[in-house]
């Protein structure tokens, strides 16, 4: 409940404050957000599987964000940033969908 409130609060703060994304973060933030969402859905699934662990969630969240940003950074350095970003988004999207499917089976039995 508290993390959910945190999420909503963060969105509200972001909307009200309306900050500019710093230049050096701009290529990485979208991918990092997707990676974090993947971690969040993975955490909800873990809760329902009964294997949720706070420490695992925090570490997986941070690791996802850092690795996703690093992959995009590496892609930009290699000159394939756009393609690699697409690839990362596709992979994370597939993971999010499979997590959501598992959550759905747990909650609705379908």
- Residues near another protein (CB under 8 A) are 1-15, 18-21, 23, 26-27, 29-30, 32-33, 36-37, 40, 43-44, 47-48, 50, 52, 54-55, 57-58, 61-62, 76, 81-82, 106-109
Measured from the CB atom, the residue of 37 and 91 that comes closer to another protein is: 37
Output 83 or 98, the one with its CB closest to another protein: 83
Shortest Å distance, C-beta 15 to another protein:
5
Q: Give the nearest distance from C-beta 93 to another protein in angstroms.
A: 16
* Cβ atoms of 34 and 89 closer than 8 Å: yes
């Amino acid at each position: 409940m508290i993390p959910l409130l945190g999420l909503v609060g963060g969105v509200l703060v972001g909307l009200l404050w309306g900050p500019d994304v710093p230049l050096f973060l701009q290529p990485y933030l979208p991918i990092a957000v997707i990676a974090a969402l993947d971690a969040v859905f993975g955490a909800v699934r873990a809760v329902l599987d009964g294997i949720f662990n706070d420490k695992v969630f925090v570490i997986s969240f941070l690791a996802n964000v850092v690795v996703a940003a690093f992959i995009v950074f590496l892609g930009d350095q290699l000159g394939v940033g756009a393609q690699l970003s697409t690839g990362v988004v596709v992979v994370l999207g597939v993971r999010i969908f499979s997590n959501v499917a598992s959550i759905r089976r747990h909650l609705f039995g379908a």
